[in-house]
Structure 1
Amino acid sequence: MRRIAAGIAPYFVVFSASACGLIIEIVASRLLAPMVGVSLFTWTSIIGVVLAGISLGNYLGGVLADKYPSPKTLGIILLGAGLTSLAVLPMLALVSGLYDALHVLPRIVLITSTLFLVPSVILGMVTPVVIKLRLRSLAQTGNVVGKIYALSTAGSIFGVFITGFVLIQWIGTRPILLGVAVFLVLMAIVFGSLWRMRVVGAVALVLFAGIAGMGIAGDSLESECQVESNYFCIKVREREIEGRKVRTLTLDRLIHSYVDLDDPTFFVYGYEKIFADISTMVGYSKPQFSALYIGGGGYSMPRFLELAYPESRQEVIEIDPAVTRVAHEYLGMPRDTRIITHNQDARMKIPELEPGTYDIVVGDAFNDVLVPYHLTTMEFNEQVKRLLTEDGIYVVNVVDKFHSGGFLRAVVTTLRASFPHVYLFADSKDFESDNRFTFVVAGALQPFTYADVFFASHAEQRGDPELVLMPQDELDDWLGLKRNILLTDDYVPVDNLLAPVFLDIP
């Protein structure tokens, strides 16, 4: 029995260490999200730093294995991996403000490297040391190395799946890191003979207790998220805006909604006011209209229209069911609301909906650090167009720089490929500045004018509309200044188009 256990042990260690490495990599994205968001740049940094660490660790592990081929070497490596993994937690608060003076790209790389490079290096040292300890003769080299690397890859796959599908939504990121650290230290004791090294063992326990104590004292073991879902770190906070007490909904690092529990007609963001102006035009001419929202967030717009037009039908496609639960529990959306919610990816749900049903579709799933690119393409626009009535309108918010950015141009160009009438709105008359700004683009099957919006807004006693419409000749001239990209499922370089915006994020 002991011989069987001894034969399995090396493979178990490699499998487990590789799983821990990928668990840390997946957890890294959730830990960084409240600081720098989740984007292509974030994932590129995480994957690059972790792979660099594993590569360097493989090299250093090979050097150590030749000089000190002993189970104690493996034990010290596993112990170091556990301690440095645990140290990530108390370092989070320090690192989050350490590189604030830098632009976002170098800040992401440096934050990721500071937190996750060392644990990745140490975990990368495990495999070559285990190979050295497992080899008995050169005749077995191919067999032993092949098995160990196969188990290492299998462990990595297991780590990815168990973290993404189970652990994050079950226990949260910080307990996961704590569990990984404890598990690695236990492996060091059991498989690394640390229990025979009393001095090293005692020092390890003191260090482990000290780091854990720092984490507890600094509340780093407590997540700042009220809810940690498969998609977002969700936070609801109270603050005062314009003399009102409101609640904010933050998803990762961005405030998505300001909600006045007593007044669903209150909006803070300019693009929400534009959505409300266009929806008012639709509701004035057809009080029984049907609206579909891509992205729920704080449910501000559907709650407003549910109140303003009781005969209307409001449907929301919100990918994250946790966001919907938070809207009910913290943001005042009643349980008996008539708003219908589909917790599904919009690209999957929209083909299931009945064609010619909706008078307005509101796209509110984009921000300046996370754009679901599959919801920007011509193919998706065609799916939305199929849902609209004969005079239906599709409106979508777009964050970009008016001159140096490329995403807004691409969105307008792509909508023009599907809709006969495309309009560009802002809540300011200044289309000349190149600051980061949230615009609204509308694709319509029938033409409408600012006068139509103005008349409806006053008829509904909402006063002057907030929106400013760019004249069509100016829109054509603006589009003619640069190359415009048609976004398709085969070519959708959204992150590259948004690079000027992303680099400008403080």
Structure 2
Amino acid sequence: MGKRKPGAAPVPGRHPVGAGEAELLHDLDRPGGWLLSVDGVPQSYVDLDDPTYLEFEYVRLIAEAIDSLEEGPLDAVHVGAGACTLPRYVAATRPGSRHIVIDPDAALIQLVRDRLRLKSVPRLKVRIDGGRTGVAALPDDFADLLVLDAFGGAVMPLELATAQYLADVARVLRPGGTLLANIADGRGLAFARRFVATVRGVFPHAAMLAEPGVLRGRRFGNLIVAASAAPLPLARLTRRAAGGLTQARCVAEDDLARFVAGAPPINDGDPVVAPVPPPALFD
């Protein structure tokens, strides 16, 4: 492989990164569309010509939640980078927003910088760090929004699902700030119940967005958990989730308490099995 040039045009291909092998695939239906996969697991989709186009269902759900927040620019922290789809989206829909992206994979970030025009995203800074230590280094009352979307392959790092870590996230958020966490689970939703229980133990207000089939445990998929020290815009969340392309449900208040159903929160050192997607999911 030849030396990459900063700002080089995207080309399909495979590239070694810290987590394994990344692959860039061009979407033939959209001239600016690019899919980033790592070791065969789709990680991000970006449209370089239209950052408001979101291909993945769970990313659209996170965007619906962000769009439900009060208008105006946001100071945002993103734990987990990929191709920085959501920072691009927020930069386009909320001009003036500032972004800190935290990701441990320096080679992946460099690939995104070189091939997917990361430098074109205004007011974005990347810190090469783990999600735990990266958040610990941030000051109190720093962010309006923290998006937790970190996966090793297709599995969420359990150190980012504990009460101790989420308490640090709460410290970094401003009093009206919002956490949006992407988790994945399958039949029985045992991990999702424990994660939501953990979130509810840290934040006074929480809600969950997911497609009905995932909520019923019929298929493996993504669930978006929203949390804040301040009341969430539940009416807007419910309306936007139901009216979007994904047509998701918003579970909150008594319904969310019933969903948790006595599941214990996750603490550092607890024996927890992270959900693993079925082998055929990405075929």
Length-normalised TM-score, structure 1: 0.49
Structure 1 gaps, min length 5: 1-223, 458-462
**Which residue number in structure 1 is paired with residue 236 of structure 2?**
452
Instruction: Give deviations 1:181-203, integer Å, cap 9, x for gaps.
Output: xxxxxxxxxxxxxxxxxxxxxxx
Q: Distance in 2 between matches of 1:282 and 1:405?
A: 27
**Which residue number in structure 2 is paired with residue 435 of structure 1?**
219
Residues 328 and 470 from structure 1, CA distance in 2 versus in 1: closer, same or farther, beyond 3 angstroms?
Answer: same
Which amino acid is 1:265 matched to? T
How big is the shift at 1:492? 4.3
Which amino acid is 1:317 matched to? I
SS at match of 1:385: helix
**Which residue number in structure 1 is paired with residue 25 of structure 2?**
237
Length-normalised TM-score, structure 2: 0.85
Instruction: Give deviations 1:127-150, integer Å, cap 9, x for gaps.
Output: xxxxxxxxxxxxxxxxxxxxxxxx
Which amino acid is 2:30 matched to? R
Residues 1:257 and 2:44 aligned together: yes
Equivalent in 243, 247, 250 of residue 469 of structure 1: 250
Which amino acid is 1:275 matched to? I
Cα contact 2:142–2:173 (8 A) shared by 1: yes
Question: Larger Cα Rg: Structure 1 or Structure 2?
Answer: 1
SS at match of 1:273: helix
SS at match of 1:324: helix
**Which residue number in structure 1 is paired with residue 9 of structure 2?**
none
Q: Distance in 2 between matches of 1:493 and 1:377?
A: 10
Cα contact 1:264–1:300 (8 A) shared by 2: yes
Equivalent in 373, 398, 408 of residue 192 of structure 2: 408
How big is the shift at 1:256? 0.8
Instruction: Give deviations 1:279-326, integer Å, cap 9, x for gaps.
Output: 223351xx1321100001011100111122222111110111222212
SS at match of 2:118: coil
SS at match of 1:334: helix
Which amino acid is 1:451 matched to? A
SS at match of 2:48: coil
**Which residue number in structure 1 is paired with residue 82 of structure 2?**
297
**Which residue number in structure 2 is paired with residue 485 of structure 1?**
264
How big is the shift at 1:369? 3.1
Which amino acid is 2:156 matched to? V
Cα contact 2:214–2:221 (8 A) shared by 1: no
Q: Distance in 2 between matches of 1:352 and 1:343?
A: 12
Instruction: Give deviations 1:110-161, integer Å, cap 9, x for gaps.
Output: xxxxxxxxxxxxxxxxxxxxxxxxxxxxxxxxxxxxxxxxxxxxxxxxxxxx
Cα contact 2:141–2:172 (8 A) shared by 1: yes
Task: Specify which structure has the higher proportion of strand.
Answer: 2
Instruction: Give deviations 1:34-64, integer Å, cap 9, x for gaps.
Output: xxxxxxxxxxxxxxxxxxxxxxxxxxxxxxx
Which amino acid is 2:14 matched to? Q
Residues 430 and 228 from structure 1, CA distance in 2 versus in 1: closer, same or farther, beyond 3 angstroms?
Answer: closer
**Which residue number in structure 1 is paired with residue 112 of structure 2?**
327
Instruction: Give deviations 1:244-303, integer Å, cap 9, x for gaps.
Output: 24211011121111111100001011211121122223351xx13211000010111001
Residues 1:389 and 2:174 aligned together: yes
SS at match of 1:348: helix
The equivalences for 1:43-122 within 5 A come to none
Q: Distance in 1 between matches of 2:266 and 2:184?
A: 16
**Which residue number in structure 2 is paired with residue 114 of structure 1?**
none
Q: Distance in 2 between matches of 1:488 and 1:503?
A: 29
Tell me the matched-pair count: 267
Percent identity over the alignment? Answer: 23
Cα contact 2:206–2:232 (8 A) shared by 1: no
